């Protein structure tokens, strides 16, 4: 089970570290003064996590219902990260907008999967 999901596990561990590390450990890059950059990062992290999960399970996904169930994994994980930020860190805070950004990344990945999976099915065999 671990071997089949190794990349998903690695991405999830990176997200765990980034979510729970002291916020002071991330230096602000002066030329990247983009409003709501953290929401873009949340979107990209969970888009990446969902995409890796889908790629690792590309041969076994058999429809939208299964895709929805798979999407629950990063969705619940994202909520747990926000709860953990609220409860076990002193320099981080959970945020409903972070959950929204996470969910948007998951949704975009799932939609892309639906649009591209039929076209790329033979390529990924």
The number of distinct structural domains making up the chain is 1
d(CA 54, CA 78): 17
Q: What is the pLDDT of residue 98?
A: 94
Is 38 inside a domain boundary?
yes
CA atoms within 13 A on the CB side of 117: 19
Is 87 inside a domain boundary?
yes
Name 54's Cβ contacts closer than 8 Å, sequence gap at least 6: 61, 67, 70, 109, 110, 113
Is 1 inside a domain boundary?
no
d(CA 61, CA 44): 22
Supply the range of the domain harboring residue 67: 6-120
Which alpha helices (DSSP H) does 21-60 contain, by range? 37-56
Tens place of pLDDT for every residue, the chain, 125 residues? Answer: 778 899 999 999 999 999 888 766 665 656 566 677 789 999 999 999 999 999 999 888 888 899 999 999 999 999 999 999 999 988 888 889 999 999 999 999 999 999 888 776 666 55
Is 125 inside a domain boundary?
no
Q: What is the pLDDT of residue 25?
A: 61
Is 92 inside a domain boundary?
yes
């Amino acid at each position: 089970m671990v071997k089949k999901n190794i990349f998903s596990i690695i991405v999830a561990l990176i997200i765990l570290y980034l979510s729970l590390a002291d916020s002071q450990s991330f230096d602000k890059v002066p030329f990247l003064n983009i409003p709501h950059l953290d929401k873009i990062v949340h979107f990209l992290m969970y888009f990446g996590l969902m995409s890796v999960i889908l790629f690792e399970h590309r041969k076994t996904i058999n429809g939208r219902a299964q895709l929805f169930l798979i999407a629950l994994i990063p969705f619940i994980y994202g909520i747990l990260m926000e709860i953990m930020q609220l409860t076990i860190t002193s320099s981080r805070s959970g945020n409903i907008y972070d959950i929204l950004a996470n969910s948007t990344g998951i949704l975009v990945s799932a939609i892309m999967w639906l649009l591209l999976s039929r076209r790329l099915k033979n390529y990924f065999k």
